[in-house]
């Protein structure tokens, strides 16, 4: 009756059935080839590990860390989520078929898919730098995780927004139902600033600001390198009480906000929106061209360099870097071989608010909850460079911004062997890079780090001399 043996007929039937189940919804998917490989791997595992006593695949013998890694290491997190979703669809299709036909082959493959997804979800915490939300217990990328209780717990953004509130008294997010922190409320000190237009220290400026770019620049995506600027300034005695408010109005409330800061004696902190470097340049030009920046004698209303309280911090958006690229930033800034160079660029040595400490590349995949590091990685959305001395000059601020953006661009391109500051300078000395970062380029030349017969046209000799004599002492 049959041209083939019953065994051959059943084998063909099982193969066709599985093929139909697996690829019914995935034939046009870019992940179909991965499902094919997966199916072949299953068959190979079955031949190796089949338990002939009960004729059932012992998947625990097959699926371990290496097995999961082989499939997942070639995906980024978003692609893995799509592939995993295709596995889920295939599994559901198999389950539907098995309700009609009780087939051992299908049961075995369902078991294989089930166990793989369980193991992969565990091991991929390492492979994709994932965290567990301690509220909903779902996995999430490190970029989507946020801290509560001062960094003691990590939750997803949705859980924090829904289940937590910012507690002013303890300066942290606490759970909505946590009554323990009510005791802080009575003694909460007033940290409001006496200057008009200055928000409380614990204000999130992103409630007021958004990412900015020049009109002629490409659309800002998740991977676009943007930076946020924080300038701490002490007010001189002549400073008008509404000085911050005037600056806010100058920018139409779209570039920066002012916050109080407990480290300042009588001043405030300017906090910008996350912007492209070109947009920062335009706004800084606008600020220093503004007649209200100085008094009638051309003296500035604020000071920064010659104080022991002021610094500049630059936030680079975390999503524009991989974990290893963040690790490169950590090493370049913190390595002893680069210390003199970094301190020269920063304008100061190690401080209690920006401590240098030895770091590894692997630490770029982690979030260090100690924010008082030279490179602060505690934030979920940004990498903060805290090394810079305060400055209230156009050249000084733009020099800090340009160095930060140049460093960000460099680590996206350089190898793991090119983390010495001389490697950075060799890359920077390329004509295109020198043109992109004129202020820090001019400083490199003046300080002898680079040789060039020409000083950048944007930075005149007169201004250079003023910086050396007045600002940098």
* pLDDT digits 0-9 by tens, 155-198: 887 788 788 877 665 566 788 777 666 544 443 344 456 899 99
Whole-number Å distance between alpha carbons of 271 and 228: 7
pLDDT surpasses 80 at 227: yes
Which of 464, 404, 459, 411 minimizes the C-alpha distance to 435?
459
Whole-number Å distance between alpha carbons of 218 and 430: 24
Neighbours of 149 (CB within 10 A): 18
Give the model's pLDDT for residue 6: 58
Task: Report the greatest alpha carbon distance in the chain.
Answer: 109
Q: Is 71 exposed, middle or buried (0-12, 13-18, 19+ CB in 10 A)?
A: middle
Number of H helices, E strands in the chain: 16, 16
Eight-state DSSP code of residue 48: H
Q: What is the mean pLDDT of residues 221-247?
A: 95
pLDDT tens profile 406-416: 999 999 999 99
Residue 182: phi and psi, rounded to 5, are -65, -25
Whole-number Å distance between alpha carbons of 165 and 126: 30
Give the model's pLDDT for residue 52: 43
Give the model's pLDDT for residue 341: 97
pLDDT surpasses 50 at 224: yes
Eight-state DSSP code of residue 138: -
Mean pLDDT estimate for the chain: 80
Beta bridge partners of 268: 233
Find the range with the poorest average confidence among 18-22, 211-215, 322-326, 331-335. 18-22
Neighbours of 389 (CB within 10 A): 23
pLDDT surpasses 90 at 147: no
Whole-number Å distance between alpha carbons of 255 and 291: 18
Tell the residue number behind the tokens 């335009």, with chain if given.
Answer: 282
Which of 413, 458, 414 minimizes the C-alpha distance to 439?
458
DSSP 335-393: -GGGHHHHHHHHTS--BTTBB-----GGGGGS--S---BSEE---SSEEEEEEEEP--S
Contact 355, 387 (CB under 8 A): no
Q: For residue 371, name the pLDDT band (cuts at 50, 70, 90).
A: confident
Give the model's pLDDT for residue 184: 43
pLDDT surpasses 70 at 456: no
State the angle between helix axes of 421-428 and 438-446 in degrees (0 to 180), rounded to the nearest 10.
120
Give the model's pLDDT for residue 85: 77
pLDDT tens profile 256-305: 999 998 788 899 999 999 999 999 999 999 999 999 999 998 899 999 99
Whole-number Å distance between alpha carbons of 379 and 143: 9
Domain locations along the chain = 6-128, 139-186, 198-471
Residue 235: which residues within 8 A CB-CB, separation 6 or more? 195, 243, 266, 267, 268, 301, 302
Give the model's pLDDT for residue 263: 82
Find the range with the poorest average confidence among 14-23, 196-205, 351-360. 14-23
Contact 472, 347 (CB under 8 A): yes
Tell the residue number behind the tokens 């003199």, with chain if given.
Answer: 340
Give the model's pLDDT for residue 465: 54
Residue 126: phi and psi, rounded to 5, are -80, -45
H helices of 201-276, in order, are 243-250
Whole-number Å distance between alpha carbons of 455 and 441: 9
- Residue 352 tokens, joined: 């209690």
Whole-number Å distance between alpha carbons of 118 and 120: 6
Higher pLDDT, 272 or 454: 272
- Residue 418 tokens, joined: 């090119």
Residue 384: phi and psi, rounded to 5, are -105, 120
Neighbours of 5 (CB within 10 A): 9
- Cα-Cα-Cα-Cα torsion 155, 160, 162, 164, nearest 10 degrees, comes to 120
| Strand ranges for 182-253 from DSSP E | 198-199, 227-235
Tell the residue number behind the tokens 């903060």, with chain if given.
Answer: 384
Q: What is the mean pLDDT of residues 377-382?
A: 87
pLDDT surpasses 50 at 54: no
Give the model's pLDDT for residue 122: 61
Give the model's pLDDT for residue 18: 60
Within 13 Å, how many C-alpha atoms sit on residue 147's CB side?
A: 17
State the angle between helix axes of 104-127 and 77-100 in degrees (0 to 180), rounded to the nearest 10.
160
Q: Give Cα 339 to chain centroid, integer Å.
A: 24
Contact 230, 277 (CB under 8 A): no
- Residue 40 tokens, joined: 């072949």
Whole-number Å distance between alpha carbons of 18 and 94: 8
Q: What is the mean pLDDT of residues 143-161?
A: 74
């Amino acid at each position: 009756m049959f041209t083939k043996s019953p065994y051959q007929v059943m084998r063909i039937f099982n193969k066709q059935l599985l093929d139909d189940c697996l690829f019914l919804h995935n034939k046009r998917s870019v992940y179909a080839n991965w499902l094919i490989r997966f199916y072949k791997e299953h068959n190979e595992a079955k031949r190796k590990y089949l338990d002939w006593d009960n004729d059932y695949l012992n998947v625990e013998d097959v699926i371990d860390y290496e097995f999961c890694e082989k499939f997942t290491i070639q995906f980024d997190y978003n692609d893995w989520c799509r592939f995993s979703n295709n596995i889920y669809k295939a599994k559901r299709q198999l389950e539907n078929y098995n309700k009609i036909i009780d087939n051992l082959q299908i049961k075995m493959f369902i078991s294989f898919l089930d166990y793989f997804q369980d193991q992969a979800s565990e091991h991929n915490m390492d492979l994709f730098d994932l965290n567990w939300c301690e509220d909903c217990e779902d996995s999430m990328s490190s970029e989507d995780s946020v801290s509560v209780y001062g960094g003691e717990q990590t939750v997803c953004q949705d859980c924090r927004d829904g289940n937590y509130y910012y507690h002013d008294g303890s300066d942290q997010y606490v759970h909505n139902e946590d009554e323990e922190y009510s005791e802080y409320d009575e003694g909460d000190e007033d940290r409001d600033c006496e200057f008009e237009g200055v928000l409380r220290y614990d204000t999130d400026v992103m409630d007021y600001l958004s990412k900015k770019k020049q009109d002629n620049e490409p659309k800002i995506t998740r991977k676009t390198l943007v930076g946020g600027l924080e300038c701490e300034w002490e007010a001189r005695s002549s400073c008008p009480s509404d000085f911050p408010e005037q600056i806010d109005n100058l920018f139409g409330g779209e570039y920066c906000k002012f916050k109080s800061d407990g480290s300042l004696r009588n001043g405030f902190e300017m906090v910008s929106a996350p912007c492209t470097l070109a947009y920062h340049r335009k706004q800084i030009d606008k600020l220093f061209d503004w007649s209200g920046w100085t008094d009638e004698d051309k003296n500035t209303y604020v000071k920064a360099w010659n104080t022991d309280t002021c610094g500049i911090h630059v936030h680079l958006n975390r999503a524009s870097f991989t974990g290893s690229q963040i690790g490169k930033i950590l090493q370049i800034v913190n390595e002893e071989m680069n210390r003199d160079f970094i301190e020269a660029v920063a304008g100061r040595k190690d401080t209690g608010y920006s401590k240098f400490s030895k770091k590894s590349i692997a630490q770029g995949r982690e979030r260090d909850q100690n924010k008082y590091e030279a490179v602060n990685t505690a934030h979920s959305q940004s990498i903060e460079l805290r090394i810079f001395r305060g400055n209230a000059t156009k050249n000084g601020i733009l020099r800090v911004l340009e160095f930060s953006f140049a460093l960000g661009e460099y680590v996206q391109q350089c190898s793991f062997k090119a983390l010495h500051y001389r490697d950075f300078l060799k890359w920077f000395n390329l004509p295109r890079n020198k043109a992109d970062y004129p202020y820090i380029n001019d400083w490199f030349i003046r300080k002898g780090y680079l040789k060039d017969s020409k000083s950048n046209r944007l930075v005149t000799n007169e201004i250079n001399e003023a910086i050396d004599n007045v600002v940098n002492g």
